[in-house]
Structure 1
Amino acid sequence: MIVINRFRVPVHERDGFRAQADVAVELLRSRPGLLSLDLVLNLDDEELWSLVTRWENVGAYRNALGGYEAKMALTPLLSRVVDEPSAYADPDEVGWNLPRSL
């Protein structure tokens, strides 16, 4: 399972973003089930960043976000996330996926 969180970060806010991202990255790297993690900057847009994580399964990802320590480490960073779906899996594992209604 892959999670792609994108962030729109004005250049003048880059240092603050990196500080928040470093805290989140450190926390996520300590979580069971994390297979890989990359914090990357878009090659063509200097304000577009992505945090790309790969997890053993959706349960490992959800568990990684739980608890007080995770909320304190992740909330400042995730408050900057582009509002869009972020979790992906192999189509054969997902099956017929219908959008959730509001």
Structure 2
Amino acid sequence: MLAIIRYTVPEAQSQEFLKQGHAILDMLAGQPGFRRGRLSRSVDEPNLWALVSEWEGAGYYRRALSAARMVMYPLMTLMVNEPSAFEDVYTSDLSGQDRA
């Protein structure tokens, strides 16, 4: 399961956002079901950031959000209000092994 939380971050806040984003990812990484995560910035719109994480399932992700809410709270006003959990329906990788 893929989770994408997007943020609109004013340039003046980007360094502080980066620090807080690290703290969020570190907190999420300690939760059951976490596979991997990254903090990314749009190359076309530098004010648009994404916190991307992969989970063993939606239940793990939702429980992790609950556990991390205090760390995430300072950035909530910067979040883009949209669905964040996505279920894999097809994947492909460099090994050539596609999965449905």
Task: Report the alpha carbon displacement of residue 52 of structure 1 after superposing the two structures with TM.
Answer: 0.6
Give me the identity figure in percent. Answer: 37
Distance, in Å, in 1 between the alignment partners of 2:50 and 2:77 is 14
Q: TM-score, normalised by structure 1?
A: 0.79
Q: TM-score, normalised by structure 2?
A: 0.80
Deviating beyond 6 angstroms after TM superposition, the runs of 4 or more aligned structure 1 residues are none
SS in 1 for 2:13: helix
Report the AA paired with residue 87 of structure 1: A
SS in 1 for 2:14: helix
CA RMSD, 1 decimal: 1.6
> Residues 6 and 51 of structure 1 are in contact (CA less than 8 Å); yes or no, is this contact kept in structure 2?
yes
Pairs within 5 Å for 1:1-102: 1-67=1-67, 70-91=68-89
Task: Report the alpha carbon displacement of residue 76 of structure 1 after superposing the two structures with TM.
Answer: 1.5
Structure 2 runs not aligned, ≥5 long: 91-100
**How many residues are aligned here?**
90
